[in-house]
Structure 1
Amino acid sequence: ADHLVLTEVLSKVLGREGILVGDSAMSCYYGALSNTPAYRPRSFLYPTGLGTLGYGLPAAVGAKLARPGAPVVALHGDGGLMFTVQELAAAAQLRLPLPVIVTDNGGYGEIRNEMAERGDPVHAVGLGAVDFPATARALGCHGLSAEDGDTLAHALEQALVADRPTLIHLPEYAAR
């Protein structure tokens, strides 16, 4: 899935009542910030400064607790999720029906791109092979992967009514 497909699916599934909580991630600042409508105040929560990796998941837990009847989705990059992934355990204990989307570009993609653009040696920006769905399951959540917009939409619809959080991994997600 690319940015446009991702934001179209999010807009459709969340509707006018939903809350999207974004992390400092390429999928947010190249996608959700410009392509996802916010129909009311506090319907798009996002850290305003760069470098605030890890904000999305704990903020989404707070949003879901504050508005339990509203659909809430957390949107993370793979690098940022590694800062607060343990909060999946807290969300599972609370049995929150909270979808957590993780866009996977193999590490800290924005930093990697900036290093390459400057001609710097690109190093220490990869995460290696993290099995995000298995990590979610180990922390008491559902965990699965989605390959395209249709499977993502279906996974989100199921996750919004699940008995616990669902991590939805978008493998090989690339900025387009």
Structure 2
Amino acid sequence: MVLLQRRVLFVCLGNICRSPLAEGVFRHHVKQAGLEEQIYVDSAGTASWHTGKKPDIRSIQTAQKHGVDISNQEARQLEDEDFEKFHYIIAMDASNLSNIQAKAPYLHTANIRLLLQDEQKDVPDPYYGANEGFDEVYDLVRDGTYNLLQEIREEMEPTEI
């Protein structure tokens, strides 16, 4: 019996606020569920401004308040290969969703969608705001990634060989 690994990529604009937080929180959910071998998690940005940089210190601090460490992540830009490498490419907002869809090759296998797809709601960019914005993002990401994990768990069926 072979378990197929699911690969999930979270995407925001610069990959220093929302998507690193989503990556860290989702990875935390995955670890709590004992699914580290079955689910691979990463994050990226649609823009390259922060490539190679650590997440925004406010994202790091917000994650730490909730027992999640994202301090070792490094920003990277969404790449063409990601559309074949990842099963899910999860956008934090409609603008980035549009940018991801525009970059996607005509034929790809990725499920591209919003994190808060059911509500058709954006995870707001907290970069230019106060620290409370990061707490709001954490709450939205926590709930959205938990729901995503439940969806993936329902979809993951062992394949017999």
Q: Structure 2 length as normaliser, TM-score? A: 0.38
Q: Structure 1 length as normaliser, TM-score? A: 0.35
Flag the structure with more relative contact order, 1 or 2, with Cα contacts below 8 A and sequence separation at least 6.
2
